[in-house]
A and B are shown apart, each in its own frame.
Chain A
Amino acid sequence: MSMTPAYRHLTRLAALTALLLVRATSADVLPDDRADLFYSKYSGGGLDITSASVLVRKKFTENFAVEANYFVDKVSGASVDVLSNASVIKDERKQKSGTIEYMHDKTTYSLSYINSTERDYISNTTHASLSQAMFGDLTTLTLGWGRTRDAVGENNGTADKPIIAWLGHAESQSYNVGLSQILTKNLIGGVTLEVITDDGYLANPYRSVRYTDESAKGYSLASQVYPDTRTSTAIQTQAKYYLPWRAAVTGSYRYYHDTWNITGDTYELDYTHPLANIWILEGRLRYYKQGHASFYSDLLPFAGSQNFYARDQDLASAENTTIGAKVTYAFLPDGWKMFKRGTATLDISRINFHYLDFTDIKDYGLPKYQPGAEPLYHFHATVLQIYMSMFF
């Protein structure tokens, strides 16, 4: 069995998220023109991921803007999925996206297209959204719709000599409604609801289930069997408050539940503190707790004991805590020639992952540990981001 970075599996959803974030607008003026250069490094769980991105945004009239983004991820390493000899993982993902925005009166319309390509996974997403300011610009209503079509493959060769087998397709539709409300001169709140439905080949072909048997290890591996549909609902509430000194604190909570019975609770707290017009310091804390999918099992009693079965750690009961700090320096605080502002940012995060029903079978087994009694898996990751933004 060949290995591939576990991370690429949810490419299509990541693309959708990327869009939704970029589309956060206030429907009064279109955002300034800008160009961004981004670099990041993720290290953790045996994986090293280097990413780079370029973003350019330009208004052609006061009402019409275009944005283009190019994103590259390079993965290398070995993950906890590697069960036998540690094969080298090496893969690259390229993502291109284009968005057009049109503003008329108090309404902003946007249309985006994203294409993400890896050797064994191709994803295409179309997304449309509408943002409406009302009630004296205190309230903003956002509606969004997206559709993704993916081709899912498996690399049966090696990292350097790939042999790709295409396994199937997956299609996803998302619908979201958001309401943002200015509550006081210092406080803004928001609620977002998003429903996503998936159809097709939804499994990660590189992960396997295990079941007890009489073999040397005490268990054997088998292919996962996933349902071919999934519908999820997520609701997030958030609020941002301007403190009596020049600083802002943000709190958010998101509840998630889907038809695979996965539940997720996300809590986030953020503090932003600027210094004059030059520095912005930011600290963030995030806690996430997940309840496992109904068909997830770390160890099945025997082969075929359930209709659907998975041992993908993404579906396990788990929790993770993130602590992050970010520093932004405005090297052009008041602009220079055609630049309105220029900033450089350094962001460091540390994420601790703890699994509550996924064991580390790569490092532990018989004779010391009976199958099912291996220590639970945990790891930490460090994420470093460096980027520069120029505003025109």
Chain B
Amino acid sequence: MRRMRPALIVGALLLSSACSNIQPWVKPYERDRLADPIMSWNRDAISSAYLDHIRETREGSRGATGGAGGGCGCN
């Protein structure tokens, strides 16, 4: 893992320079659908946390739930 770190950073920098040639393909004024509340990963936080609580107390699996990003991208 430790040996991978420099490679990771170099890779990320290369990716970012490559990415600066690609323009974001969804413009800020085209995000009307993504900004719709039905497109948010989690509208009801207490409910999602509660359902996850029920599952985790009965299942052996845990982790990697939830999501971020999307939305209107304003500001």
Chain A interface (Cβ within 8 Å of chain B)?
6-11, 13-14, 16-18, 20-29, 36, 38, 40, 42, 51, 53, 55, 69, 71, 131, 133, 135-140, 142, 174, 176, 178, 180-182, 184-186, 188, 190, 192-196, 232, 234-236, 238, 240, 242, 246-248, 254, 256, 258, 260, 262, 264, 266, 272, 274, 280, 288, 290, 293, 313-315, 318, 320, 328, 345, 347, 349, 351, 353, 383, 385, 387, 389
Contact = CB atoms under 8 A, between A and B. Distances in A.
Contacts, number: 225
Contacts of A20: 65-66
Contacts of B52: 14, 17-18, 21
A58 to B, nearest CB: 15
A195 B63 CA distance: 8
A139 B19 CA distance: 12
Among A29, A293, A313, which residue has the most Cβ atoms of chain B within 10 A? A29
A23 B65 CA distance: 11
Describe B's contact surface by its main secondary structure: loop
Contacts of B41: 24, 190, 238, 240
A345 B46 CA distance: 12
A184 B26 contact: yes
Contact of A24 (B47, B64, B67): B67
Interface size class of B (residues with CB under 8 A): 35 or more
Contact of B47 (A38, A234, A264): A38
B9 interface: no
B8 to A, nearest CB: 11
B46 A53 contact: yes
A153 B55 CA distance: 22
B17 interface: no
Interface in B29-44: 30-31, 33-34, 36-39, 41-44
A349 B47 CA distance: 12
B65 A21 contact: yes
Q: Which 6 A-B pairs have the closest CB atoms?
A: A136-B24, A180-B69, A140-B69, A264-B61, A137-B73, A234-B64
